[in-house]
A and B are shown apart, each in its own frame.
Chain A
Amino acid sequence: MARVLLPVILIIMAATGECVWFNLPRSGTKCVSEEIHNNVVVVGDYVVVSDDHLHPTPTISSQVTSPYGNILHHMDTVTHGQFVFTSTESGQYLSCFWADRPGEGGALSVNIDWKTGIAAKEWESVARKEKIEGVELELRKLEGAVEAIHDNLLYLKRREAEMRGVSETTNSRVAWYSIYSLGICILASCAQLWYLTRFFQKKKLI
């Protein structure tokens, strides 16, 4: 009965959200990160499902950290949770999960549903607020998606320009430092010659 129920529950829960399942080991932390720009709405949902169908369901703790180390969300001993925030810094956002009672046996599956930017927008409230429906709503969604793509492309362009800068710095560094190394080599050999000449002259060999 339980074996039939679990896939059904999984399918039902998955049909209500776009999500990824991963296994959480009994001890240790599992972290999932994403690169997020500034000023982006992020909505995350996580649910725990135990493979052994234990009652009560094992609980996990979760923590979401910003790139500069601020803790944006922290929950202990829960089986499901949700976090919503608007990013104020651009960088890598980390969400970590760990099991509460390590060593109790059985692997856990955690379902995380992470929506950023345009995917996190609540279209139902927009439709209700602006009283649009049907084709207009779909086209509005597509317009949002196109704007998101455009912003992404601009961001990529900026990153590529930064990288080009780093590449060119590296190129000039390699060139200059090779010349410096060669210079040091020549200086060292000249110093050697001078020192040895002085030494042999002192010993009256030359």
Chain B
Amino acid sequence: MFHTILIIVFMSCLLISNVVGIRFVIDREECLSITVDYEGDTVYVSFVVIKAESPWHFTEDGVDLVIKGPSGDRVFDMHDKTSQKHDFIAHKKGLYHFCFTNKSPYHETIDFDVHVGHFAYHDQHAKDEHFKPLFDLIAKLEEALYNIQFEQHWLQAENDRQAVVNEKMGKRAVHKALIESAALIGASVLQVYLLQRLFERKLGLSRV
């Protein structure tokens, strides 16, 4: 009886994972925080810039990301990236800060995903040798599945970014064609008018 309860309790806290995926609009700077409950957890973080709200953006839009640990120490940083995946091992438990900085003057939509993976090492709990390898394998399987979900979220965000780029390209092709035709017609009318004026003046001078 007690054995069963112990196993149930053990199984229910086998793997504690945090998976978060949100999208937000960044103006200048935005900071998000995540708690890491256990030392030695691997933290996977990914972000994708979905779109930059500028009518014609000529430059590659990118954001900076600075990751700070619980005591304010800088864990990692990257500059001017539109899409990035990174993982690190959290040596201290506590509140980790992810700060984004937007260098371009326009608002940008960022899709941010963070996943804290934790293996529960319960050597002191399961006394029965039959169960321990099974628990470890299930824990590994769960971790792998959460990782797959994390990758999928990033892939989806990348696809969304590409979809926005493609739609903009389609609209741009149509606009370019219209403006080009209008410019050509305008240039030819201007040419005819100028030539007409030139010859009329010349003829007027020479004939009189």
Contacts and interface: CB of A to CB of B under 8 A. Distances in A.
B143 to A, nearest CB: 11
Interface in A146-170: 146, 148-149, 152-153, 155-156, 159-160, 162-163, 166-167, 169-170
B83 interface: no
Contact of A21 (B21, B95, B188): B95
Given A188-B188, A196-B192, A166 B170 contact: yes
A188 B155 CA distance: 48
Q: Is the interface of B mostly helix, strand, loop or mixed?
A: helix
A199 B199 contact: yes
A134 B11 contact: yes
B149 interface: yes
B138 interface: yes
Nearest to B177: A177
Given A138-B14, A200-B199, A203-B203, A170 B184 contact: no
B7 interface: yes
A133 interface: yes
Contact of B20 (A19, A137, A163, A185): A19
Contacts of A192: 188, 191-192
A149 B37 CA distance: 26
A195 B24 CA distance: 59
B65 interface: no
Interface residues of B, number: 59
Interface residues of A, number: 64
B11 A135 contact: yes
A184 B14 contact: no
A22 B195 CA distance: 67
Interface of B: 4, 7-8, 11, 14, 17-25, 30-35, 37, 94-95, 114, 134, 138, 141-142, 145-146, 148-149, 152, 155-156, 159-160, 162-163, 166-167, 169-170, 173-174, 176-177, 180-181, 184-185, 187-188, 191-192, 195-196, 199, 203
8 contacts: A10-B95, A15-B37, A18-B18, A21-B95, A22-B31, A34-B22, A156-B152, A188-B185
Interface of A: 7, 10-11, 14-15, 18-23, 30-35, 92, 109, 112, 114, 119, 133-135, 137-139, 141-142, 145-146, 148-149, 152-153, 155-156, 159-160, 162-163, 166-167, 169-170, 173-174, 177-178, 180-181, 184-185, 188-189, 191-192, 195-196, 199-200, 203, 205
Given A20-B33, A178-B177, A203-B199, 14 more contacts: A18-B20, A19-B34, A119-B19, A133-B8, A134-B7, A135-B138, A139-B138, A142-B142, A159-B159, A162-B163, A170-B166, A173-B170, A181-B180, A181-B184
